[in-house]
Chains A and B, each alone.
Chain A
């Protein structure tokens, strides 16, 4: 009832978009596909939603083959494409009504499922979808994708370009939907959203870097990361890059995430090196690994 993907490859005019992708999504799982733009997330979604043929490999969704049983899949999945895909000139209510009708159902029949989401936009039901704010559009799109009680839900970058408040609310909604037994495959370029999924696949340039729970992925990180800061950010990055023992140097907000090649790394050595370089107000403290650190280590 979940999703199985076996050795899927796809190229556009000889430019490879997906290379030998394999993973499974268990029934009822909230699975995240994490990667930057152009990583191949949308292509994989289109293969799974029967919109594209893969060049190689097989895949099933809810037990149906994506090539042979495409009609059954189209009946049992909900899909929210990356762009805002609703009719801008139709009102909120008309959009929802339209999608209910083409799936052969009514709003009343499945109101239970969308109720929590829809009540938030119901006060604006007479408003045209094009006049809604980003967060409200996203809620309407989710309601439309859910109106026929799909078994599997595909959400392609649902939170891109949406403000932090709406993003947070959106993930809370996904958690609640998951409790109702819907399998959810969601893609996002935001690394911080990875922690909210049961399991994640890190993807870049059409290749899977790693698949596991967010906790396990962070745990696999081989080194200790240090938060380094100093008065001059540019000089700090430059000095760290020039340090002979440096393994990786990445600016990370107000700090630089630094890892050392040596197993017996002593921060005081680094501090004296940086002081010698003329930097002031130096702090060096171990910090927790994030998904983003892992992603960069794997993508190096």
Chain B
């Protein structure tokens, strides 16, 4: 069975004046894959991701996301992706149900669908007792699991995760990864940007960006073999030190 690519990027470049933030990157992401997009702060990951989710225009190169062109069809891209960042996820001053209703609403889901999805979601995350509580009062780990589920409300083809598990306790973090595996297993592609190298270990394939270029792209296993390293952290250290 030939697997379809949901993200195809070729020579994608973004320049700001004289500065090249993203320098001709090329990669493909398959359907249902967990793809790690790594790099230190300032390596160009955020800029690259902004182009892929259709909020920044590339300077040159080609890219399609979920089959849509990043230059012309950004509105279609936005409809077919979900996004979750560690910094902004949910409104702390709204309750769990209000948050779900709001985010369902901005993706144009009908009332009936939102109602149905809310029930399923609360059931799955076992939030029945706290559904009417403000999100701000929840522990960090719960918030993250909840915001991941909210990002999935409209059944996106690809979900972009920005440093999803930094700072969470180890057990919650694993529950989170189990959710990610489950989602990927059902055919949703997961695109994780992070500078936490241990998050990279969980991905099917990872790319490592250094100074705007993709310097390595393979499975974590192969990368570790290639660099003779014990962990992705060591791979990164070896890459960064040249």
Taking a contact as CB atoms under 8 Å apart, the answer to whether A164 and B197 are in contact is yes
Supposing A164-B236, A204-B169 touch, asked if A253 and B195 sit within 8 A by C-beta, the answer is no
Q: Contacts of B140 on A, CB cut-off 8 Å? A: 36-38
Shortest Cβ distance from B196 into A: residue = A190
- Bound Cα distance A300, B185 (Å): 27
Task: Decide if A14 is an interface residue (CB 8 Å cutoff).
Answer: no
Q: Contacts of A164 on B, CB cut-off 8 Å? A: 40, 197, 233, 236-237, 240
Task: Decide if B122 is an interface residue (CB 8 Å cutoff).
Answer: no
Supposing A36-B168, A165-B241, A250-B174 touch, asked if A134 and B41 sit within 8 A by C-beta, the answer is yes
Q: Contacts of B215 on A, CB cut-off 8 Å? A: none
Taking a contact as CB atoms under 8 Å apart, the answer to whether B201 and A234 are in contact is no
Output the least CB separation between B204 and chain A (Å): 9
Taking a contact as CB atoms under 8 Å apart, the answer to whether A295 and B201 are in contact is no
Shortest Cβ distance from B185 into A: residue = A234
- Bound Cα distance A36, B167 (Å): 5
- Bound Cα distance A294, B46 (Å): 35
Which bucket holds chain B's interface residue count? Answer: 20 to 34
Within 8 A of B (CB), among A248-300: 250-254, 292, 295-296, 299-300
Supposing A164-B197, A165-B237, A168-B237 touch, asked if A191 and B170 sit within 8 A by C-beta, the answer is yes
Partner of A253 from the list B169, B181, B198 (CB cut-off 8 Å) is: B198
Q: Contacts of B174 on A, CB cut-off 8 Å? A: 250-251, 296
Q: Contacts of A191 on B, CB cut-off 8 Å? A: 170
Taking a contact as CB atoms under 8 Å apart, the answer to whether A133 and B169 are in contact is no
Within 8 A of A (CB), among B214-242: 219-221, 232-233, 236-237, 240-241
Per-residue 0/1 for B174-218: is the Cβ within 8 Å of any A Cβ (1 yes, 0 no)?
Answer: 100110011011000000000101100110000000000000000
B interface residue numbers (CB < 8 A to A): 40-42, 139-140, 166-172, 174, 177-178, 181-182, 184-185, 195, 197-198, 201-202, 219-221, 232-233, 236-237, 240-241
